[in-house]
Structure 1
């Protein structure tokens, strides 16, 4: 089973519903729980990025913060280094935004100020500039990635940094990129596209590959709701709404491209960290 066969079957579809709302949030939670990527991202930020911030005060802007599962860990690492922190999150989903502010406020203290804005990044207008602007797996969802990067750079102060974490278009992401192209009529950006854009614009950057694994064992277990949620997030579509043949092809593709380690099937879940 290869991606070409799956794309040929996809071409027979008239329409496909994107993964969104409650289903998106539930699938994201299950997907991230099956991967060690988040802890590796936090470790890299703690070791390589946060030590570059001031020990007196620091300001963070998290673009596409979701419910704050990652941000709360970044905040904890920041509090170990910096006395006073301002942490601002942007999230277009209202329920996720509410969860972000609740979670972050509970983790804060008198030296932490937290804000949340329920808006798309494209509509965000802000006069402040930040020490650290974070875009963690959010660039894929921007209508105009090049403009989003320019906007993000304009929000970084003179001594600050823009950090973008984005996947490469490898085996794990071939399904999502295929469905994205079908839904939107255009492909989304991955790390290769970001690297090319920055080089063409002569914008200096550092790139670090963070190697991680995604456990997809449950995707190979019939009737596993966990496996369905992981597959849904990988493909970025509710697979139960797809024709049965295409749905079977997706699960067969995941199994065929996975690695077997004892009783666990896994796919590389790498992410590239760009520091600008």
Structure 2
């Protein structure tokens, strides 16, 4: 994903020496930390803003951001907000807006995109990473429906939205099989954390029979390698598009949503 992100940046903004970057749903920064570190290594100046509704994850992001700030005080500034996209307000616009595996939990696509366009500066780039609905994604899809009475969004939902609203985006499918070997280690805390992450819920509250059904499903849809590792297929859609002010004005005049 990082390689694809840098390719998009190189295409439109390779000559820039400084970037304002917003990460929507930054979490603990699994993607953002190596991405920003590489930008700093390329001697770029960065003003980074991260937002996420989960306060504990924001605290973790603040920790490593402070480390980067200490290493490069003249090149890196940051601010992390424990807030949802709908409630986030900013007086500045951004050169790069990241939505890395955060679209699953948005309640509505159209209003989210309206907010993204509002935050995206002229000629700014929005980068979206979202999973294709494969076998790995079926369990969290149904868990979210049952526990939270909501459906998760996947790449086919965005594809439909882009098509219906005539939005031009670049798309790349990236194959990224997931190693689920640890999931089958009984009484392992690491296995529990991995299952929680995949399912998107606390599996402590699953009954033994529910856990067994889940593991059987993973075993049926996975492949065991000669090395003994168990891999399950997974694909992500990598989208990016640039905010063109003239095109946006034309869409508004034609009655578009932006």
CA distance in 2: counterparts of 1:81 and 1:218, whole angstroms: 36
Give the corresponding residue for 1:266.
Answer: 231
Give the corresponding residue for 1:96.
Answer: 57
TM-score scaled to structure 1, two decimals?
A: 0.80
TM-score scaled to structure 2, two decimals?
A: 0.86
Give the corresponding residue for 1:179.
Answer: 143
Give the corresponding residue for 1:49.
Answer: 9
Say which SS state the counterpart of residue 203 (structure 1) adopts. Answer: coil
* CA deviations over 1:225-257 (Å, ceiling 9, x no partner): 322221222222222312221121011111111
Large movers: runs of 4+ above 4 Å: none
Say which SS state the counterpart of residue 40 (structure 2) adopts. Answer: helix
Query: How many angstroms does 1:146 deviate by?
Result: 2.5
Query: How many angstroms does 1:51 deviate by?
Result: 5.6
- Contact 1:50/1:81 (<8 A) preserved: no
Say which SS state the counterpart of residue 97 (structure 2) adopts. Answer: strand
Larger RCO, structures 1/2 (Cα 8 Å, 6+ apart): 1
Give the corresponding residue for 1:148.
Answer: 112
2:101 equivalent among 123, 137, 145: 137
CA distance in 2: counterparts of 1:80 and 1:228, whole angstroms: 36
Change in 2 beyond 3 A, CA 1:50/1:97 = farther
Structure 1: which 5+ residue stretches go unaligned? 1-40
The answer as to 2:99 corresponding to 1:116 is: no
* CA deviations over 1:16-36 (Å, ceiling 9, x no partner): xxxxxxxxxxxxxxxxxxxxx
Give the corresponding residue for 2:191.
Answer: 227
Aligned length: 236
CA distance in 2: counterparts of 1:82 and 1:51, whole angstroms: 18
| Two-structure CA RMSD over aligned residues (Å) | 1.7
Give the corresponding residue for 1:243.
Answer: 207
Structure 2: which 5+ residue stretches go unaligned? 242-258
